[in-house]
């Protein structure tokens, strides 16, 4: 499926970018990332201009990358500062540099030719908030990014694909409200379960025994950032009219959906919680559980990718009520693909 260019995408977590060269392919463009000695993250095209050798398989020398094949050397901007055996550096000896913004422990890169506006990058502040504890990971997906968008926008699949972890019957059975904010370019999907079974994911991490009031409020900022505000409370406990919602447990589930190639995707996932923040056993449990859930999705979406690749063109899929949010997300992505500067309208 086509890509939405001229947008910001998450290339890595901050702690992945260091003094080791990191290769990531985003929207089909190979990038090499590293951290300069001053601490700034750098993203350059991962192909030496000379004979295309991947710079990610080369070495750092201070803030420059020395190509592992013939020694062409590039600075942080992508300009070549040394070529072997001669004084003159050809005018065209440079690799593309990508705009980078590091925010909320995420390394965002701008993919496109238009002028980037860092102010349009959506926020995930819980990932860098001392009041929250975060577990996170990244799963490479052998499936197109649209399948992950579909998956995350329709959480009714939790009941069937993730039963025993985060799914209970009430998720699929509770009606949703979908809102598209045209000005901000955001899709909201709200599912409020007043009286629900508590899945193991939350029973074991919060200690709640018995039934719960469970709210799922999705904010999707296409194309890349997906937020799920998860509120868990003993059944019948609602937020007070004023003041903090301290009787409830809050988990901020963050996904960054970064297309790698037409048929592969980086699935960045994180769970930030405001409860049991110092309890490492809860962190370990949530990490293992969410990793399992993500891998259940990965297995299913990898299978779907193969199914789609083998099917005849113009297969007519069916959409029902549970797909209302996913359909809205698809439309905003399609609009971005058709309008190169749509990000500026946020």
Measured from the CB atom, the residue of 289 and 324 that comes closer to other proteins is: 324
Measured from the CB atom, the residue of 5 and 188 that comes closer to other proteins is: 188
d(C-alpha 307, C-alpha 287), whole Å: 30
CB-based contacts of 207, cutoff 8 Å, min separation 6? none
> Cβ(167)–Cβ(199) under 8 Å?
yes
Measured from the CB atom, the residue of 38 and 320 that comes closer to other proteins is: 320
Measured from the CB atom, the residue of 265 and 324 that comes closer to other proteins is: 324
CB 159, min distance to other proteins, A: 16
CB 177, min distance to other proteins, A: 5
Please state, in angstroms and as integers, the Cα–Cα distance from residue 325 to each residue in 110, 133, 160, 238, 328, following that order.
Answer: 26, 29, 18, 25, 5
Measured from the CB atom, the residue of 141 and 193 that comes closer to other proteins is: 193
Tokens coding 33: 């990332």
CB 107, min distance to other proteins, A: 23
Measured from the CB atom, the residue of 151 and 265 that comes closer to other proteins is: 151
Q: DSSP E strands: which ranges in 222-290?
A: 225-234, 249-261, 264-273
Interacting residue ranges for other proteins, rule: CB under 8 A:
125-126, 175-184, 186, 188, 190, 215, 217, 229, 231, 239, 244-245, 248, 250, 252, 274, 319-321, 323-324, 327-328, 331
d(C-alpha 75, C-alpha 274), whole Å: 42
Cis check: omega of the bond before 64, within 30 degrees of 0: no
Tokens coding 193: 């379960």
d(C-alpha 293, C-alpha 199), whole Å: 13
Measured from the CB atom, the residue of 32 and 253 that comes closer to other proteins is: 253
CB 205, min distance to other proteins, A: 17
CB 158, min distance to other proteins, A: 17
d(C-alpha 206, C-alpha 232), whole Å: 9
Phi, psi at residue 256, to the nearest 5°? -115, 125
How many H helices and E strands in the chain? Answer: 6, 17
Classify residue 97 by burial, with Cβ atoms within 10 Å: 0-12, 13-18, 19+: middle
Measured from the CB atom, the residue of 96 and 180 that comes closer to other proteins is: 180
CB 329, min distance to other proteins, A: 11
CB 115, min distance to other proteins, A: 25
């Amino acid at each position: 499926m086509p890509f939405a260019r001229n947008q910001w995408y998450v290339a890595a977590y901050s702690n992945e970018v260091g003094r080791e060269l990191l290769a990531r392919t985003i929207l089909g463009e190979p990038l090499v990332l590293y951290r300069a000695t001053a601490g700034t993250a750098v993203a350059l095209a991962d192909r030496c201009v000379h004979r295309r050798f991947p710079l990610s398989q080369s070495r750092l020398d201070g803030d420059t990358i020395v190509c592992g094949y013939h020694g062409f050397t590039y600075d942080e901007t992508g300009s070549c500062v040394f070529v072997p055996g001669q004084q003159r550096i050809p005018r065209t000896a440079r690799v593309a540099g990508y705009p980078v913004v590091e925010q909320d422990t995420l390394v965002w890169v701008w993919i496109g030719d238009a002028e980037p506006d860092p102010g349009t990058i959506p926020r995930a502040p819980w990932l860098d908030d001392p009041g929250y504890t975060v577990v996170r990971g990244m799963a490479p997906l052998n499936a197109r990014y649209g399948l992950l968008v579909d998956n995350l926008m329709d959480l009714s699949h939790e009941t069937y694909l993730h039963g025993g972890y985060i799914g209970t019957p009430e998720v699929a059975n509770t009606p949703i409200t979908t809102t598209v904010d045209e000005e901000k370019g955001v899709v909201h999907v709200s599912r409020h379960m007043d009286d629900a079974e508590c899945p193991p994911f939350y029973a074991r991490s919060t200690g709640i025994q018995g039934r719960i009031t469970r709210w799922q409020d999705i904010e999707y900022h296409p194309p890349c950032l997906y937020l799920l505000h998860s509120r868990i409370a003993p059944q019948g406990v609602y937020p007070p009219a004023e003041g903090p919602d301290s009787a409830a447990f809050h988990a901020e589930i963050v996904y960054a959906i970064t297309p790698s190639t037409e048929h592969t995707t980086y699935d960045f996932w994180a769970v930030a919680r405001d409860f049991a923040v110092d309890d490492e056993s809860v962190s370990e449990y949530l990490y293992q559980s969410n990793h399992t859930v993500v891998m259940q999705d990965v297995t299913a979406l990898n299978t779907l990718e193969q199914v789609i690749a083998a099917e005849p063109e113009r297969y007519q899929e069916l959409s029902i009520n549970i797909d209302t949010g996913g359909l809205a997300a698809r439309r905003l992505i399609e609009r971005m693909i058709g309008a190169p500067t749509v990000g500026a309208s946020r």
